[in-house]
Each structure stands twice: as structure tokens, then as C-alpha cells.
Amino acid sequence: MYYQVEEQDGYYRIGSPENVFCYLFVGSKQAALIDTGHGFGNLEQTVRSVTDKPLVIINTHGHCDHTGGNAQFEEVCYIGEKDIALCQEHSEAAMRRDNAKRAENSMNFETGETYNGLPEGFNLEEYCSRGTGTLQTVSEGTVFDLGGITLKIYETPGHTQGGISVLYLEKNILFVGDATGMFVWLFAKETTDLTTYVEAVQKMYDLNAVSYIGAHNPNPMKKEQLLRYIRAAKEADYDAGEPFESFFGKEYEPRVCALDHMTMAEMFHPDFASVVIGKDKRK
């Protein structure tokens, strides 16, 4: 099967060759899905193989690899207001076409081998004609009571201006999307300044969650790691950074600014922490 559903502690993790994870929660009254990936495969069918409860969809931010599957669902997709235009832009046919092409030549970073990340029978024209899904804005403090599972929204801008994180109250786990991590992209036009990012990570830290779970890494982050991410942003020096080949935002000439003079070659070291910033964030 294209999507792999793995039961975790009180929720489900949905993985796929799209290199992004979606998270599914099933309460006694309703279910919730955090992010919809690129939506190359049939995510709706995957979700419905787990639960037939009424569904709430939450997009952590507007990027195509988090909202691309929205339109497979009839349900409303909640998103931060400042990311609506971004989601629309990332749902356009040209960007979808580029993403599908890139997925067809996906790279396994550990082996260096390429593979086709698209599912069998993928229909490119249908995929490119999809819209954003039905978007509705959500803001700080909104609570979704699923019945025995409560999700609370926190605004965590930085990676995008309208980025949100979702706190699973009963387990005290914060789902952060791309809002922080050891390799956070802060160089596109939709990113904020570094101060706003630092404040958001500090806010996540102050929530005192047991763990922090991102969208591209199955390993939960611990609170202490967030301090390193904050320091990486505070100490970031564009001029000393390592140039980063990106498929988008090239005009910003992004560079990886890692803590303690580490390089991208050391990315899999447990202490690696960095921000990827553009030349506009030069001090």
C-alpha cells in the first residue's frame, strides 16, 4: 500500500514515499487529521480505512507537501489565516506538476538511489486540476474536542507566517509541522524574520510538552533540543553559512547556518541544529 498507517501512543502516524507524515486522531465523537501531505496517493481512502467518524482536517501551514491532499476530502480544512494565500499558490497546477515530476525521481538520501515516489495509476492531469480544498481559518486557542482527545491550536510563525502547531492535551505532545527542527527552512518569501521564529520556538518550549513531533522526521524531539534550535537561530551568521542547493527560493541564495561550526555532512549527528536562511537575513 502507498500509505503506511502505524498506531502510536493514542494516535496514528501515516507515512508514505512523499517523505512527509500525517497524523490521525480518533476520538469517541470525531476524528482529526493533521496535514494531508502532497496527496499523490488516495489519502482519503487510507483515513477511511481507520475511521468512519466525522473528520476535522488541520493544516499546520500552507506548503504543498502539507495541503496537497486537502481536495480529496469534502470536509473543511483549518489553516492559519496568513497562510491561505500561500496554500492557494501551492495548489496551482504548475507547482503540482513540478512536485509530481520531482516525486517521480525521488532520492533516498542514505543510499543516493532514486525511486519513483508516485503511486501506481497516478493521474497527473487529475492531480494538477485539484484546488485547495475547503479552507477555513483557525487561530490561537481554538480547541477541537474529539471525545477523549482534545487538540488545541497554537500560532507558531517562522517557517511560514501563518504556521500553527497542535497540542494533544491528554498526552501533552505538540505537533509542530515544519515550525521547528534541526534543519528548519526560513528563507522563502513566506518566512518571518528570525526574531519571530525564536519567539515561536520559545513559546513551544514554554508549553513543556513531553515531546515535539515534526512532519518530516518520525523521531520525536525533546524540549532540550528546542534550546539548541533557538541558539542556532540567534547565532546564525549568513556570511559564515554553507550554501544550500534548493529547488525553490533560489533567489534568496539560502545557506545553512549550523551551531558550533557543524556542516551538513554532520546532519545525522544527534546534536545537529541549524537554520536555513536567505541573504535578506544577513546581519
Binding site for Zn ion (CB under 5 A): 63, 178
Which grid cell is 122?
497516478
Q: Which of 72/191 has CB closer to Zn ion?
A: 191
Question: Nearer to Zn ion by C-beta: 27 or 66?
Answer: 66
Closest CB 215 distance from Zn ion, rounded Å: 7
CB of 147 to Zn ion, least distance (A): 30
Give min distance, CB of 246 to Zn ion, in A: 12
Contact 30, 55 (CB under 8 A): yes
Most distant CA pair in the chain, distance: 53
When the beta carbons of 30 and 91 are compared against Zn ion, the nearer one is 91
The percent of the chain in helix, strand and coil, each rounded to the nearest 5, is 30, 25, 45
Concatenating the DSSP letter of every residue in 242-263 gives EE---SS-GGG--EEEEGGG--
**Count of H helices and E strands in the chain?**
7, 18
Q: Which is nearer to Zn ion, 65 or 75 (CB)?
A: 65
- Least distance between Zn ion and beta carbon 13 (Å): 18
| Cα–Cα distance measured from residue 174 to residue 212, given in angstroms and rounded to the nearest whole number | 5
Tell me how crowded residue 231 is: count the other CB atoms within 10 A of its CB: 14
Q: Which is nearer to Zn ion, 38 or 63 (CB)?
A: 63
Whether the Cβ atoms of residue 51 and residue 31 lie closer than 8 Å to each other? yes
SS3 57: strand
Q: How far is the CB of 269 from Zn ion (least distance, A)?
A: 23
Nearer to Zn ion, 26 or 164 (CB): 164
CB of 159 to Zn ion, least distance (A): 6
